[in-house]
Amino acid sequence: MKNLTKIAFAFLLLAGGMMNAQALKKGSVTYKLELTGNDEAAAMMGESTLTIHFDETTQTTEMNMMSGMMLMKTITPVGNVKDTKMAVEVMGMKYEIIEAGEEALNSSKGVANLDDAVDVTYDKNEVKEIAGFKCYKANVKMADGSTNVFYITDAIAPQTPLKETKVKLAGYPLQIITSTPQGEMTMTATSFSKELPKDCFVITGEGYTKVTMEEFKQQMGGM
């Protein structure tokens, strides 16, 4: 379970680089999550998805791993990462992370995202359709010399990173392929909706145990 938690935070960190799309004033993008090069972890993940809901004031990510056996939800006000709220359900146990803030997006050290990017080049001749949008390739060079591949669309506004970064993408990513300590991670959008589900910007339900991020990680390490 500890390894699965690391993988979940790694995908969450990738999603963090795509926050706050503003061309479409609100919407939901659902991504399929895939992990290659680590058969044991990939089998543990099973069928997994990540959905990003956004409007002009708030961003929510909802991750569903192991076909619902692990659910993770983060809610971040636009421009105010410190007020991020986070809830996790793992095999029937429910946790609300107290003062999650930036820790919710910093808990997977060593995972490359735009924080570590030093340069980006675009290839508009290499295109593909993803979730109904025409996308072109962006090669993002990282500080360690590796390259991450993004397929981005101009139909959705460029992201506003949660932190100031040297590199900003010209469009919104609908596919990301990146190498991490957990293996090669791929996020591919499968659908987009202009309608937001009810209660997507609040933590719903009862029975959550309130813990700090450190206490939560200790709990997961013991499972």
Three-state SS for 1? Answer: coil
pTM: 0.82
- Asked if 203 contacts 87 with a C-beta cutoff of 8 angstroms, the reply is yes
Asked whether the beta carbons of 38 and 55 are under 8 A apart, the reply is: no
What is the pLDDT, as a whole number, of residue 104?
Answer: 62
**pLDDT by residue, tens only, the chain of 223 residues:** 556 677 676 776 666 555 444 456 678 999 999 999 888 888 888 889 999 998 878 889 999 998 788 999 999 887 787 888 999 998 889 999 987 776 665 544 333 467 778 899 999 999 999 999 999 999 999 888 888 999 999 888 665 555 566 778 888 889 999 887 778 999 999 999 989 999 999 998 899 999 998 888 888 775 4
Whole-angstrom distance, CA of residue 174 vs CA of residue 142: 19
pLDDT attached to residue 29: 92
**pLDDT at residue 187 in the model:** 93
Q: What is the pLDDT of residue 159?
A: 55
Instruction: Provide the domain limits for residue 124.
Output: 2-221
Token pair of 117 as six digits = 């990017």
Q: How far, in Å, are 12, 60, 130, 140 from residue 57 at the CA level?
A: 19, 10, 26, 28
What pLDDT does 165 receive? 66
pLDDT at residue number 133: 94
CATH code at position 169: 2.50.20
Check residue 80 and give its pLDDT.
Answer: 80
What lies within 8 Å, CB to CB, of 23 at 6+ separation is 155, 156, 157, 172
DSSP result, 121-179: EEEEEEEEEETTEEEEEEEEEETTS-EEEEEEESSSPPP--SS--S---SSEEEEEEEE
CB 137 within 8 A of CB 130: no
The pLDDT score that the predictor gives to residue 220 is 78
Question: Domain count of the chain?
Answer: 1
